[in-house]
Structure formats: C-alpha cells, structure tokens
Amino acid sequence: MKQTVTLVAILAIACVSILGCDISEPNLEGVVDSESNLQATLAEKAGSQIYAPGKVGTIIINQDPDELEGARWSLTGPMSREGSGDATLTGMFAGEYTLSWTPVPGHRVPGSTTHACPPLGSVTFTGSYAEELDLTFIPAGTFQMGSPPDEPGRDELGREPDETLHTVTLTKGFYIAPTEVTEELWDNVMGSGASTSQLPQSLVTWDKAVAFCNQLSLKEDLTPAYVISGIEGDVIWNRDANGYRLPTEAEWEYACRAGSQEAFCNGPITDTDILDPKLDPNLDQVGWYLRNSEGVLHDVGQKSPNAWGLYDMHGNVYEWVWDGYRPDYENLPSVDPVYDVKRHNYRVIRGGRMSYFAWSCRSANRHWYGNIYYETSWIGFRVVRSVVD
C-alpha cells in the first residue's frame, strides 16, 4: 500500500510540475481522489492516448440526416473531442460525456445529450436535425372582423348574413406558414416522403389536419398542441404547447387581411356576377378562382402575396381553422375569440377555392363543413405556431 501511495504521489507531483495539471483534492488518507482521474488529466494535457487497460470504451456519434452539411459537434467529458458528421471514437476513458451540436440554418438544433461511456463497451449519441418549416411572424393587433353590410358579394345566393362587422383584438402574435401545406410536406410527415408536389394538400378532413399538426410537432421535437382523447376522439387544444396547430378563425382573417379592410387583401371586389362572371382584376393578382384557374389546383406561391408575405389566402383551396361554426360570432369575446366545440360539430373553412366565384374568396367570407365526413379536392389547410412564454 505504501509503495502504491508513493507512486501515485510521484505521478501527481510530475503532473503539477511538468504539465501544470489541476488534480483532485486529497482524500482522508492523503491520496488523490482517483487514479483514473489522474490518468485522464495526464492524457488530456499531454494530448496522448494514456489509459489503463479495461478503463476505456468506444463512443459512436450519428448525425441525422447524414447528408446535412455544416453540422458540427462538440464532446465533453473525461476526454474532449470536436468533429462533424458520423464518427467512431475509440480509446475513450470511461465516464459521463455530453454531446452538443452547432446550429444549421433552416433546421432545429438537436438538444445536448449526456450518456455514460462504459469500460470495454460502447455508447451511441444521435443528433437529429429536423427541417424547420418556414414561418412568418404576425404581430398582435386589433382589426375589424367581418364585412360592412354594403360590401359587394356579402349576401350572394340568399345566404343568411354571418359576417357582422365587429372589433377583435389579438393580444399575442403568432407564426403562420406562408403557404398551404403542400403534398410534398404532407407526404414527408404522414407518408413515404417520396412526393415533390407543390400542390396544396387536399382531401383532408379536419381530423386529419389536426393529426398532421401533432405529427409535424413530434418530428421537430415540439410539444403537440392537441390532445386527442376518448372514444369519440375529442380534441383538446393545449394553449401552452409550442407545436403546430390550426389558426383560429380570428387569426386566419387577421393574417389574410394584413391590414386591409377591403374585400381582398389588395383591394375591393369588382365582379359579383354569378350568371356571367368576369375576371376580377384584384383577385386575379392574389388568388386562383373560377375565372383564372381552369378548374384545377395550382402550385402554392404562384400568385402575389399579401402585405405580410402570405400566399394563396384567397382561392386555390379552402382552409380549415380551429373554430366551430357560429353564425353570431360577433357575440364571442372581443379579445382573443375562439369557439371551441366537440368533434362532431361543424368547423369553419376560409379563403375560397379554385372552382368558385370571386365573392367566396373575400377575406370575410365564412363557410362550414363537417369535420369527420368530408374529404374533398378543394379543402386544405395551413399551420401556425403560438408564441409561448
């Protein structure tokens, strides 16, 4: 025992005098805390592979996706290493290691992870970079929701008036996708990932849109916004979640208008003729509808955006929102209004479609559909994310 203590003490003195090492405090017997710690210190200071047999292991680092460029990692612990991409590090001292990753534009940075490297064993670290959806921030504000009684196209086809003009205040800003969810994005999240189509995803029930939001949230390591529970699959919105969700009806119209109080985001409506519809010059600039679409869907982002950089808020496909349909929505709270309903109730769709009249594409136009019964080629959706404290 005396010889062992003397040897360790000599090594410690050598470490301090030659390499300037900072060794552990002595224990009660006057011996440094651990021989392996001393070896690790010597190895790190000397930049060599000094280790005792049986006290080293292998650390495997996997980057996902493999082809992502610009991602680097930093490993700290008994030994420190830096690098990029996949790596297999042998001869690493046993102990606890933490791996951190650097940011890559357009991707969510993997969180730091800590694992123990066992002696004579291996441990694997995986860093998954999730591609972030490009979102546009919409600031909080107050606007006039609905339409004035004299707006052309407001009461076409003898519909009951459900666009009563009223003041709404949104107290929190939010992030919204600049386009509708495309077939490519849908397939990447819900399917095989083979599609490259930039058409808006249609044939989507409200339930499927909600399921997509949750799945996309999980894919990006976010907290899903929706809790689906019960035999009927009732959906509860977790307001504290940072994951993807559908916009509320008020958020949708606020984002669509982008400060405009006209029928469209870029000006008034000029054509309301149902029997002989003409090309509406304002709508033609910003949306696909009956007079310019040839009755088919078009790739997203082909028309001009509104003042906040959002595309296709008018026409192409109707868009699901969170709210249930309520004709007297002006009687909801004027601050952050939301109409929560059970699953079997009608949900609101907004924005108009490629195969219908200009009046249906107005910012204030409201329509409703059954959330579990309808899958049509002219209903899609776009996603938003809350600003969570």
Task: Give the 3-state DSSP-derived string for the chain, with helices as H, strands as E and coil as C.
Answer: CHHHHHHHHHHHHHHHHHHCCCCCCECCCCCECCHHHHHHHHHHHHCCCCCCCCCEEEEEEEEECCCCCCCEEEEECCCCEEEECCEEEEEEECEEEEEEECCCCCEECCCCEEEEECCCCEEEEEEECEECCCCEEECCEEEEECECCCCCCCCHHHCCCCCECEEEEECCCEEECCCCCEHHHHHHHHCCCCCCCCCECCCCCHHHHHHHHHHHHHHCCCCCCEEEECCCCEEEECCCCCCEECCCHHHHHHHHHCCCCCCECCECCCCCCCCCCCCCHHHHHHCECCCCCCCCCCCCCCCCCCCCCCCCCCECCEEEEEEECCCCHHHCCCECCCCCCCCCCEEEEECCCCCCCHHHHCCCCEEEEECCCCCCCCEECCCEEECCC
The closest alpha carbon to 384, from 139, 240, 175, 108, belongs to 175
pTM of the predicted structure, to 2 decimals: 0.74
Q: What is the pLDDT of residues 122-170, one digit of tens each?
A: 999 999 887 778 899 999 999 999 999 999 988 866 566 899 999 999 9
CA atoms within 13 A on the CB side of 242: 7
pLDDT for residue 68: 86
**pLDDT given for residue 46 in this prediction:** 38
Those residues with Cβ within 8 angstroms of residue 10's Cβ, 6 or more apart along the chain or in another chain: none
| pLDDT, one tens digit for every residue, the chain (389 residues) | 444 444 434 444 444 333 344 433 333 333 334 444 444 444 444 333 444 556 899 999 999 888 888 889 999 999 999 999 999 999 999 999 999 999 888 777 888 999 999 999 999 999 988 777 889 999 999 999 999 999 998 886 656 689 999 999 999 999 999 999 999 999 989 988 889 999 999 999 999 999 999 999 998 889 999 998 866 678 999 999 999 999 999 999 999 999 999 999 999 999 888 888 899 999 999 999 999 999 999 999 999 999 999 999 999 999 999 999 999 999 999 999 999 998 778 899 999 999 999 999 999 999 988 766 678 899 999 999 999 87
Look at residue 106 in the predicted model and tell me its pLDDT.
76
Strands 122-128 and 56-64: parallel
Q: Could you read off the pLDDT of 204-236 as tens digits, one per residue?
A: 999 999 999 999 999 888 999 999 886 667 899
Q: How far apart are the first and last CA of the chain?
A: 59
Which residues lie across from 130 on neighbouring strands?
108
Cα gap 185→195, rounded to integer Å:
8
Please report how the helices 183-190 and 206-219 are oriented relative to each other, as an axis angle in degrees rounded to 10.
70
pLDDT at 211: 93
Nearest residue to 225 via CA among 217, 233, 172: 217
pLDDT of residue 371: 60
Return the pLDDT at 372.
62
Of 122, 27, 88, 89, the C-alpha closest to 37 is: 27
Q: Token pair for residue 254? A: 């606020």
Please give the pLDDT value at position 25. 37
Total Cβ atoms within 10 A of residue 261 = 14
